[in-house]
Structure formats: C-alpha cells, structure tokens
Amino acid sequence: MKNINKFRLAVAAIGAVTLLVKAREHVIAKTPVNEEVTTIQVDGHTIQLVLVDHFNGVDYTAYADSRNKRIYFPRKLWNTRFKDALLHHEIGHVVLNHVAFEGDKLGLIKIELEADQYSVQQGNINELIAYRSILLLLTILDPSNYNNINLGYLVGTKIRSLFK
C-alpha cells in the first residue's frame, strides 16, 4: 500500500511540474523574442541560425524550420554542454529536409529519430542522452512523446556500441 501512495505522489509531483512549466511557457510567450541572426554553411546548405530568448514561449529546446532553412536556438542553451548535440539535431532536420506533419505522431517520431541519428553521427550521443533524460521529467506522463522514444533509442544505441 505504501508503494502505491509513493507512486501516486510521484505522478502528482511530475504532473505539477509539467503544469508549472506550461504556465511559465504561456507567460514567456508574451515577451519579446530578441532575434540575433547569423548564417552557417553545413553539408552544402546555407542555414540561418537565429539565437532567441524563446520560441513560442519555450526556452529549453531548439526548433528547425526546414522549409526556410532556419534554426531557432535559445540563448539559454547556447553555453551549455548540450549546444553541439542540439544544434546538430536541428541541422539534421534541415539537411534531411524534414517537414513536421500536424497530427502525424508516427511521422514526427520518425523525423525526430532521424535527426537524433544525424547528431549521433557527429559524436553527440552522450549529450543527447543527458539532455533527453532531463526532459524526461516533462514528458514521462506521455508514453508516446517522442522524447521518451528517442531516449530509449539513444540508450539502446549506446548499449549496442559497448558490445561492438
């Protein structure tokens, strides 16, 4: 019985954290973005790298707009150990010409896995695992969230690499 209560408490705490993060995003979304644009060349692609305070209220992850060859990268993450891993992930979206389809959960999972694979090929597996582990607190209540699936893929890839 005690274990069930601990489990319920843990789920409630995670739910509360998720709600707080979503409320914070709503508040941040109302503040200026403060774009700073530079251009990078990768694999024959000219990509605009846009440093922002947030993208639609989110300041803990980056976004790629493959159609316009733009990457929105939060300043908050620029000087972290995750910078290269996340930047390569977003570059992967542009280089692989990914377009997210609204409502297509399997399609989204597929392109997120491919972008992670691109970043892993650049040597970023440990940082991706660490970053996705941190995001797990926000996504653990949604088992179909691509972060959870990608984390499982990355851990599996790391384990397989140990036996090669």
The CA distance from 146 to 132, in Å, is 10
Q: Where are the beta strands (DSSP E) in the chain?
A: 36-42, 45-52, 63-65, 70-74
Query: What mean pLDDT is predicted for residues 58-84?
Result: 93
Residue 41 pLDDT class (50, 70, 90 cuts): very high
The CA distance from 147 to 133, in Å, is 9
Residue 24 pLDDT class (50, 70, 90 cuts): confident
63-65 vs 36-42, strand pairing mode: unpaired
The CA distance from 33 to 124, in Å, is 28
Q: Give the pLDDT confidence of 98-117 residue by residue, as tens digits.
A: 987 777 888 888 999 999 99
Structure tokens at 20: 């707080």
What is the pTM (predicted TM-score) of this model? 0.83
* pLDDT for residue 124: 97
Q: Give the pLDDT confidence of 90-103 residue by residue, as tens digits.
A: 999 999 999 877 77
Query: Which residue from 77, 94, 162, 98 is spatially nearest to 126, judged by alpha carbons?
Result: 162
